Structure 1
Amino acid sequence: MEGILVIIGIGAVIALISWINSVVEKGRRYDTLKPRLDNLDRAEREFSIKTTQTEQKLAAWMKQTEQSFSDRTKQLDNREQGVLALSNQKAIGFPWLANAYADFFHLEEMKLARALETKKHPAFTAAEKVRESALRRREAERVARILKYQIEFYENLFPWLADLKSEDIEDEIIRIRVGSIEDPVDDDAARKWLTPEEYSRLPSREKYQTALDRYWTKKKSKWEIGRDYERYIGWRYESQGSVVYYQGIIEGFDDLGRDLIVSNGNRVQIVQCKYWSRGKTIHEKHIFQLYGTMIAYKMDHPEKDVLGHFITLTTLSERARQFANYLGIKVTESTALERYPCIKCNISRGNKEKIYHLPFDQQYDKTMVELGQGECFVSTIAEAEDKGFRRAFRYHGTK
């Protein structure tokens, strides 16, 4: 029995010693980790403080930015109102308005110059350069504005001037020399579309057909395309029995805004053709021009029933459509140029000689085709010659 008690006592002592060692070890570990825990607590407090400070700075920056944006917006609004106020004074006169615009932008640049001089790190050299540039810009702005308003004013009076903006110098030369497509010393305009070898070697039927095919397929100037468009629209009228005078082509700049004058007995249509690219829009000033030239024609021919027809590849603005509808002008949009039977087969009123005219022939646009009198439009040289028509000679005028 005593042995058992001894064993139990020894076990208790061992357990006590083990517990004491465990407590001591934990105390040692606590002493080791305590500084680290203190550091973590301190770091957490510092992080919290810095986060709060950052949030406060961000809030202050956002408030400042919003205020700056608001101030800038007001500044831009004021500038816009100033520009609009200037724009509304166009009636006062071009020179005054141009000077006002120039002064306005000059003052804006003077503000910039003063800002460069008064900022924290002044830039005096840059400020002086800004002032010099502002003086040059002021004069350039004045001259440019005067010219701009003059051009806009002229375009409003004469809308066809706007068409010239897309023309290049070569197109202008062609327009001026509208009556001289062929070489003045040459009797046959077909030479323009053929090589010398082709002209001398090919039979006449094949030669003229080759020239005609190239007339349609080779690249043309914008003015030439516009001319072909007028011819195409005119053919559509003629093929329905109307008599067409190609005033735009024949009269050139003196056409008075009348590309085609289409007659059916007492009824006359004044037709304006615009072969603009599809991205452009026809505005009301072109409708006004057509209406004005209709009225002028009616005044000169009071016995005629005069109508207007505006035909274009592109589209009209909604406002232009409204004016056209109100003024009784017919509008046909999105009408493309297509190849059509362009050979005019005409019978001479004098000797009854049957002659065909090609688009590059001298008297082509002055030649009228009366469908009920044995005359016709055909597509090929073979068709014309098989019907007994010969090619037109060059017209030299009466002596």
Structure 2
Amino acid sequence: MQNRLFAGLGGVSLLFTFSFFFPWLGVIPLVSFVTLLGLIAIDLLLLYRIQNGIFARRHSPDRLSNGDDNDFGIHTENFYPFSIHVGIIDEIPFQFQQRNIWFDVKLKPREIKVISYQLRPVKRGEYDFGRILLYVRSPIGLISRRYQFDDSEILPVYPSFLQMRRYELMAISNRLSETGIKKLRRLGHSMEFEHIRTYVSGDDQRSVNWKATARKGDLMINSYTDEKSQHVYCIVDKSRSMKMPFEGLSLLDYAINASLVLSNIALIKEDKAGLITISEKIGAIVPADRRPAQLNKILEVLYREKTRYLEINMELLYSTVRTTAKQRSLLLFFTNFESLSAMERQLPFLKRIAKFHLLFVIFFENTELQKLKEEPARNIEEIYIQTIAAKFAHEKKQIVKELARHGIQTILSTPQQLTVNTINKYLELKARQSF
């Protein structure tokens, strides 16, 4: 039933009502009613005389990327010999918590149209997509005919492979600096000469090959190979401290996305990438390797990981690192500390790990506390809240200093900048040959 039909019925009702008070209206109300019934009959005939007047199909990727905008489309095709208006509902999974996936489309006879939209998942797992519902109206527009297409499918949501591909392309084309990743100055040229190539923005100007530049008429530089086959392990804490959400994603998901991107960059740089996940018990271990299937192995492991509700077992982590990483490796430990006392409980084991490996402890700034600090206080209660927020923010900086005092390097990052800051640190160490 459409608004036009309600308006028509309301108008006819008013005419019949007024005819009691104004006899001069005569048969006008009856004629109007018969005309309305005739239009309804014509509308029904137009819409239902063709069994399958429209077709729809959902275009979706094979898998979704967590935390990213994923592209979807609804393919529609009009088989009616006249123009139609179509209202489209796509039954998207409940995890998105959206009830506004409604599209109004006008289709000419035999016209094909694709409606594009995007969905951003914030949890890994399986997402169940349902039917596509279409409500078709003819040019008369009094009633609508419902079509439904059972286009049900279950799509897995993996860690952010779209982000991984974006950084991969930039790493290959030497354009990482365009996304905020620093181009780091190399300390000398102790590496092996590889080839001469064209200069691109961000290259070290000291590497310019002036003889080749004179011959080619374009700026050319010497390219050197980095030291290869170093071991890089991402250690992901999946205990309750990583459950905290920021912009829909949990800290664990931010750490997982950063781990996937970093593992891919490490493999591109011909290092060996590995993975360890842990809470009160060991979750998964992927020994460092650089075989072609290594990235898919890491991706599948990260897809299944979930936060747990107990504290991390640091003694178990220490023994696992000692048995898994047989040679000196770069360990990037993604965790979170909300207080100095929480860090001090883990400090003895971090110090022991740092004796054998280059350890980086990566934890998170609380951006919500930062917002509280910046808001103007209007009463005593808000002053008290701001004071507590400032105290917690200061403790984060104290944690950095305390870890540095014991020779443990740190990365304190906002969740949104975690991937960029982690890659920056890896490229810096790679440039300095520091591990």
Do they fold alike, i.e. is TM over 0.5? no
Greater Cα radius of gyration, structure 1 or 2: 1
- Ranked by relative contact order (alpha carbons within 8 Å, sequence separation 6 or more), the top structure is 2
Q: TM-score, normalised by structure 2?
A: 0.22
Q: TM-score, normalised by structure 1?
A: 0.23
